[in-house]
Amino acid sequence: MFVYNESMNTKTLKWIALILMTIDHIGVHLVKSPSMYLTLKIIGRGAYPLYAFMLVNGFIHTKNMKKYFFRLFIFAALIELSYLILYLYNGTNYLLRNNIMLTLFASLLSLYLISHQKWYIKILTILVLVISYLLKIDGSIYAILMVLFFYLSPSVWFNLLALAVLNFVFIWFEAMPVYQWASLYVIPLLFFYNGQYGKINRYFHYFYYPLHILVILLIKVLFKL
């Protein structure tokens, strides 16, 4: 994965992704107006490509792969626990859905497998794709393939091309919403990525995800949205 030596670091990208993700989840869980829902979904489409890019970058540079896997697994489990409580409380079923941590965990596993030297380990990536499709996790095959394409892309231009092709295929053949094309608007930000991490509280972003989901779901239940 090639990046350009410019002015935007991981900290900046993470904050942008976090804000876009929050906007997206507000639209999913709290908004009733179709036009407002569509607006927030279009804005929120930029979140996952940034997370996918940063996951690849983290995979390449991490000093401890086991801890990386463990963090994603634990926080994915916390999200599922929140959804389970909601399901038991009022029957609303978000299990295995709207959980980007679970998607990132599956994507990281796919990266680990496809980068392995042994071919029979590489092909296990297909198994991860199949399982993600059957379980209907958030983003499913589309999200995992985005991560893999970003990993294999030699430049940001190829990231843009890969995402455009991926969007075309899934919108045309898998009936993905047309607004998924909006995911392309964040790719130009990657031209300014300098490869630096920046001063960032890693665990704030990990904890933010389950906490903001919990707050949104509490608002949804309390105000019967």
Q: What is the pLDDT of residue 220?
A: 86
Over residues 2-27, the mean pLDDT reads 83
Q: How far is CA 148 from CA 63, 160, 184, in A?
A: 20, 13, 17
Phi and psi torsions of 67, nearest 5°: -65, -35
Q: Which residue has the higher pLDDT, 54 or 88?
A: 54
Ordered alpha helix ranges (H), the chain? 10-29, 34-44, 47-61, 65-90, 100-114, 119-122, 124-135, 140-152, 156-173, 202-222
| pLDDT per position as a tens digit, 122-157 | 999 999 999 999 988 988 899 999 999 999 988 889
Residue 5 inside a domain? The answer is: no
Q: Helix, strand or coil for residue 8?
A: strand
- Looking at the domain assignment, is residue 2 inside a domain? no
Q: Which amino acid appears at position 104 of this protein? A: L
Instruction: Inform me whether the pLDDT recorded for 223 exceeds 60.
Output: yes
Residues 6+ apart with CB under 8 A from 15: none
| Confidence band of 6 (pLDDT split at 50, 70, 90) | low
In a domain, 3, yes or no: no
pLDDT reading at 42 higher than 70: yes
4 found inside a domain: no
Q: Is residue 104 part of a domain?
A: yes
Q: What's the domain count of the chain? A: 1
Would 1 be classed as within a structural domain?
A: no
In a domain, 77, yes or no: yes
Residue with tokens 């893999």: 148
Record the pTM: 0.89
Does residue 193 sit within a domain? yes
Per-residue pLDDT tens over the stretch 143-200 = 999 999 999 988 889 999 999 999 999 999 888 999 999 999 999 999 888 878 777 7
pLDDT 10s digits, 46-82: 999 999 999 999 999 888 999 999 999 998 998 888 7
How much is the pLDDT for 3?
47
| Residue 2 reports pLDDT greater than 70 | no
According to DSSP, residue 208 is labeled H
Q: Does the structure show a pLDDT above 90 at 207?
A: no
Domain span at residue 201 reads 10-222
**Residues 53, 49: Cα–Cα separation, whole Å:** 6
- What confidence score (pLDDT) does residue 224 get? 76
d(CA 223, CA 166): 38
pLDDT at 167: 95
d(CA 221, CA 208): 20
What are the residues whose beta carbons fall under 8 Å from the beta carbon of 171, sequence distance 6 or more? 177, 178, 180, 181
Task: State the Cα–Cα distance between residues 129 and 134, nearest whole angstrom.
Answer: 9
